[in-house]
């Protein structure tokens, strides 16, 4: 079958299944109700990001079950996240599932060697931590789908001819992201659905697995620059909350993108586009402008990280007071 026809069929199937999910979510009242920490003000269907999991199953059905342990791990972590979207689960249950799923991904990648257990344990912690940082960044319309495309498109460009991983896997994930974009990449109050943890955790797991293949084949971890914008905002916000002695498990609105959308009243689509374009420019610069040497890769990574970190700190110094004023208003 012609490749374009195959991908066209996959896109139509994913679109139809997403619409079917909306019927199910509406029937079973799987919704996201706004609260004082939300960036939305209307009730929206939750869990639309299940399309990422469905997309991998559809890809497997069309192209063969080439990564069975990855598929099982993704199904486990996304399934637990979906249950958590409906009925809140203890943190311990979610973390056990995430570590078990990460171990399956490592087995699929061929790096689960217990003779170096301490390195594997550290890598698992980083994998699960990165998954949750990406999950924390899912807070406004369009940011998960848009940012995912900003990661997946450069990955597809690097992986032309399937050098590191099956190219069809990346393309199918891009198609799932586009389907989700149709219903979520909309102005505040206009989204048909939210990703839910099933979506943000699911796409994080997929992206980290794809990046893992590239890093293992090239023995170069600087490819993590494909997640740099999220990484800087997510990690520095965690550091900020630790400095404020906050419970990291509690919901909040302290990310830079949240302050833009909530306190500065910048439209959701504009903020999501900003993060998407920033990451895309950084990644394309890394691919096409940065010399292909380890020294140049590290210099580019460190240099861009410093610039983003300074920009984050300056932004917070100027505008975080608006968030403090918002918190004070909640207590009055």
Write the pLDDT tens digit of every residue in 211-244: 999 999 999 999 999 999 999 999 999 999 999 9
Predicted pLDDT at 236: 97
pLDDT at 114 over 80: no
pLDDT at 275: 98
pLDDT number for residue 27: 87
User: Comparing 1-10, 100-109, 195-204, 279-288, which segment has the lowest mean pLDDT?
Assistant: 1-10
Positive or negative: CA dihedral 223, 195, 241, 127: negative
The annotation places the binding site for Mg(2+) at 135, 197
Average pLDDT, the chain: 93
Annotated binding site: 135, 197
**Rounded average pLDDT over 162-189:** 96
Task: Check pLDDT > 50 for residue 40.
Answer: no
pLDDT of residue 133: 94
Does 34 score more than 70 pLDDT? no
Q: What is the pLDDT of residue 329?
A: 86
**Residues of 81-114 as b/e, b for ≥16 C-beta within 10 angstroms?**
bbbbbeeeeeeeebeebbbebbbbbbebbeebee
Task: Give the pLDDT confidence of 64-96 residue by residue, as tens digits.
Answer: 999 999 999 999 999 999 999 999 899 999 999
Residue 66 contacts residue 217 (beta carbons within 8 Å): no
Q: In the prediction, which pLDDT does 1 show?
A: 64
SS3 label, residue 32: strand
Residue 193 — φ and ψ, nearest 5°?
Answer: -155, 165
């Amino acid at each position: 079958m012609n490749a374009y026809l195959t991908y066209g069929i996959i896109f139509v199937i994913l679109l139809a299944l997403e619409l079917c999910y909306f019927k199910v979510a509406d029937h079973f009242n799987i919704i996201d109700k706004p609260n004082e920490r939300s960036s939305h003000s209307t009730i929206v269907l939750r869990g639309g990001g299940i399309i990422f999991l469905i997309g991998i199953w559809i890809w497997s059905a069309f192209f063969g079950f080439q990564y069975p342990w990855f598929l099982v791990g993704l199904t486990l972590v996304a399934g637990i996240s979906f249950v958590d979207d409906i009925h809140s689960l203890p943190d311990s249950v979610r973390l056990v599932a995430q570590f078990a799923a990460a171990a399956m991904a490592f087995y699929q990648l061929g790096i689960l060697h217990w003779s170096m257990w301490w390195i594997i344990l550290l890598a698992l912690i980083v994998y699960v931590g990165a998954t949750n940082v990406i999950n924390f960044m899912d807070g406004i319309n369009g940011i998960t789908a848009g940012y995912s495309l900003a990661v997946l498109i450069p990955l597809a460009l690097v992986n032309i001819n399937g050098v590191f991983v099956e190219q069809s896997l990346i393309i199918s994930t891009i198609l799932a992201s586009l389907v989700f974009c149709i219903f979520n990449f909309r102005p505040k109050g206009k989204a048909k659905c939210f990703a839910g943890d099933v979506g943000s955790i699911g796409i994080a797991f997929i992206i980290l697995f794809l990046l893992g293949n590239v890093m293992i084949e090239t023995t170069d971890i600087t490819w993590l620059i494909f997640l740099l914008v999220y990484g800087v905002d997510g990690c520095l916000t965690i550091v900020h909350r630790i400095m404020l002695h906050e419970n990291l498990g509690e919901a909040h609105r302290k990310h830079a993108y949240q302050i833009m959308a909530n306190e500065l009243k910048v439209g959701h689509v504009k903020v999501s586009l900003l993060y998407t374009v920033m990451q895309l420019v950084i990644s394309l610069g890394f691919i096409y402008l940065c010399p292909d040497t380890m020294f140049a890769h590290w210099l580019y990574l460190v240099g861009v990280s410093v610039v983003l970190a300074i920009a984050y700190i300056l932004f917070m110094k100027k505008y975080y007071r608006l968030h403090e004023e918002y918190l004070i208003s909640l207590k009055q």
